[in-house]
Amino acid sequence: MATTVEPTRIAADVLMEKQSPEPDGALYRRLYSYMLKCRMVEERIRVLYRQGRFAGNYFAAVGQEATEVGVTLDLLPEDTIAPSHRNFVTHIMKGTPLPLMFAQIYGRKTSPDQGRSAPAHCGYAPLNVITPSSTIAAQLNVGTGIALAYTMRRRPNVVVALSGEGSTSLGFWHEAVNFAGVRRLPILIVVENNGYAESVPVALQTAVDDISVKAQAYGIPGVSVDGNDVVAVYAAAREAIDRARKGEGPTLLECRTYRWYGHSEIDPAKYRDPAEVAYWKARDPITAMELRLESAQLWTERWKRELESEFTREIDEAIAFAESSPAPEGKEALDEVYSFSIRERELERKVWEPRFTVGRAE
């Protein structure tokens, strides 16, 4: 019989003390630099969209950088990320080349999917980032299957699966988490609770205050953390990942955060109170980390300018690569797509087609 596990709310100061008696300067600076890079990449993509430089749409996670970075930094190359469409920048922590990421946004032939998927629905097989599904929470089912494969092959790898709080009200999410709990699979289930399932506020789609309490139904640990505190997120994620690697099963990690913009670039988000947006922008995770670094004498304005200059150069080069890459041709849509031959299809039909005699199937 499964044991009920109470959700845990973890404070950032407790996590810092638990992680190390002294601030880890190198780690903190890496966390900050990755958040800054993610912010700059996404803000640039938003500008490109408004300029009409690529077709489709984009789903920015601006404001949620602490969660994006904290749960995916320091994964092994063999570990897997199962992202949603809002987790495009998690590729950066995994190491996907930035030019390939922008080629995917532009739908070019040089992208990992050769221009087949909508913007931000980007996977990268060499580093085990699965392609997000437009079906909400479906990536958890795929990620859970990969975690099962790791277990069956006795590999010490983990899956980090991300979705929003709205996904926790869907069958896909329940099925994946339930199965992961039963089989004690090596998966970290991250719920980015940004307050809105597209335009639906949390109170209208779930009756619980803490999403982490849902972990009790599956007999796994549930943890709620300040999703705008990158140190707290990183520490909580590392603890859960370490548990998973040791064969102790999954963890549900709720990261309370906020997206600054609408659900996508075509959503003006008029359903939100401007005062609410202002409140959360004042809790900018990047600014908060600057203050933490500055108090530890690990941050200067000059260093930030140097990072911005380096990231701007990388982004410019990635855009140039994408815009100079060829678009796929229509006839290439069927390339590398598995399909039965006519002969194979006929044989399969004959094998499985029931034969009826005197009103019953043989």
Contact 271, 199 (CB under 8 A): yes
- Here the tokens at position 170 are 């869907």
The pLDDT profile of the chain, 362 residues, written as one tens digit per residue, is 333 334 444 333 433 344 443 458 999 999 999 999 999 999 999 999 999 999 999 999 999 999 999 999 999 999 999 999 999 999 999 999 999 999 999 999 999 999 989 999 999 999 999 999 888 899 999 999 999 999 999 999 999 999 999 999 999 999 999 999 999 999 999 999 999 999 999 999 999 999 999 999 999 999 999 999 999 999 999 999 999 999 999 999 999 999 999 999 999 999 999 999 999 999 999 999 999 999 999 999 999 999 999 999 999 999 999 999 999 988 888 787 776 666 666 666 655 555 444 444 44
Q: How far apart are CA 166 and CA 173, in angstroms?
A: 10
Domain count, the chain: 1
Task: Specify the pLDDT at position 315.
Answer: 98
Contact 227, 239 (CB under 8 A): no
In a domain, 267, yes or no: yes
Q: What is the DSSP string of 239-296?
A: HHHHHHHTT---EEEEEE---SS-SSTT---TTS-HHHHHHHHTT-HHHHHHHHHHHT
Contact 184, 247 (CB under 8 A): yes
In a domain, 221, yes or no: yes
In a domain, 48, yes or no: yes
Segments forming the whole domain that contains residue 139:
8-330
Buried b (16+ CB within 10 A) or exposed e, 89-121: bbbbbbebbbbbbbbbbbbbbbbbbbbbbbbbb
In a domain, 2, yes or no: no
Contact 230, 285 (CB under 8 A): yes
- Here the tokens at position 50 are 């408004």
In a domain, 282, yes or no: yes
Q: How far apart are CA 321 and CA 111, in angstroms?
A: 10
Instruction: Supply the pTM of this predicted model.
Output: 0.87
In a domain, 170, yes or no: yes
In a domain, 342, yes or no: no
In a domain, 361, yes or no: no
Task: Specify the pLDDT at position 362.
Answer: 41
Where residue 91 sits, what CATH number does that domain have? 3.40.50.970
Counting every residue written for the chain, the total comes to 362
Task: Specify the pLDDT at position 361.
Answer: 42
Buried b (16+ CB within 10 A) or exposed e, 203-233: eeebeeebbbbbbbebbbbbbbbbbbbbbbb
Contact 130, 123 (CB under 8 A): yes
The count of C-alpha atoms lying within 13 angstroms of the C-alpha of 86, restricted to the half-sphere facing its C-beta, is 32
- Here the tokens at position 61 are 């996670």
